[in-house]
Amino acid sequence: MRRRRVEAAEEDAEINMMPMLDIVFIMLIFFIVTSSFIKESGVDVQRPAAATATRQEQGSILIAITSKDRIWVDRREVEPAALRVIIERLHAEHPEGSVVIQADKAASSGLLVQVIDQARRAGVDDIAIAAELIER
């Protein structure tokens, strides 16, 4: 009988970790939900400078044009012929979003116009071209 009391006392001496795990998971969910995610096009470009550039909220579809006239969307290189389909798919996921084109200084203007044309054909009217703001 004494042995049963000792075993029962040992079982009651354990620390219950469940409330602490619940708090840790709730905090993890809170930080994931409140963190802001930065979208990137996948490549670094040297944007042209502009004195009249205005700050705009980040668009949901980022397209980069490199100095070697390569087009990147969502960290993948895409062909100009496939660009319209990709923009249509991304615009369907975020219909209120806009397209931001990050064209390199050395990129050809013809390719930039072609990308703008493909975005408009995909049904996106809100299109912006990224530029570096010159501080006065």
Q: What is the tens place of the pLDDT at every residue in 85-134?
A: 999 999 998 888 889 999 999 999 999 999 999 999 999 988 988 888 88
- The percentage of the chain sitting over the pLDDT mark of 70, rounded to a whole number, equals 82
pLDDT at 48 exceeding the cut of 90: no
pTM over 0.85: no
Sort residue 74 into left (φ over 0), alpha (ψ -120 to 50) or beta: left
Q: Which of 62, 134, 69 is nearest to 94 (CA)?
A: 62
pLDDT at 28 exceeding the cut of 80: yes
pLDDT at 9 exceeding the cut of 80: no
Three-state SS at 46: coil
